[in-house]
Amino acid sequence: MLLELENDNLNEIIAANKNVVVQYSATWCGNCRIMKPKFKKESTENEKVTFVLADAEKFPESRKLAKVDNLPTFATFVNGEFKNQVQTNKYDVLKELIYEVTSN
């Protein structure tokens, strides 16, 4: 499942879903635009995970849930708790992060 935040309510999505992977991005971020289709592709291949696209500039409260200080940042949450994050534009690194969540 893929969700795109329309409100600053990521905490509610994390609380309601067991496994969550978030892509924090911004409209001006070139690497974010490169990774977005890859992130969307992963969302179609992993039924155990809720994928969320979050604009890091529009939603500061959602941004605070992970250690976001560079974009794109990908963060994982399991059972409502922050687990891990990476800042990357490499597809293999993203896949490894997703694997950590799906191998639970």
Q: Find residue 25's DSSP bridge partners.
A: 55
Bridge pairing between strands 2-4 and 50-55: parallel
* Residues known to be catalytic: 29, 32
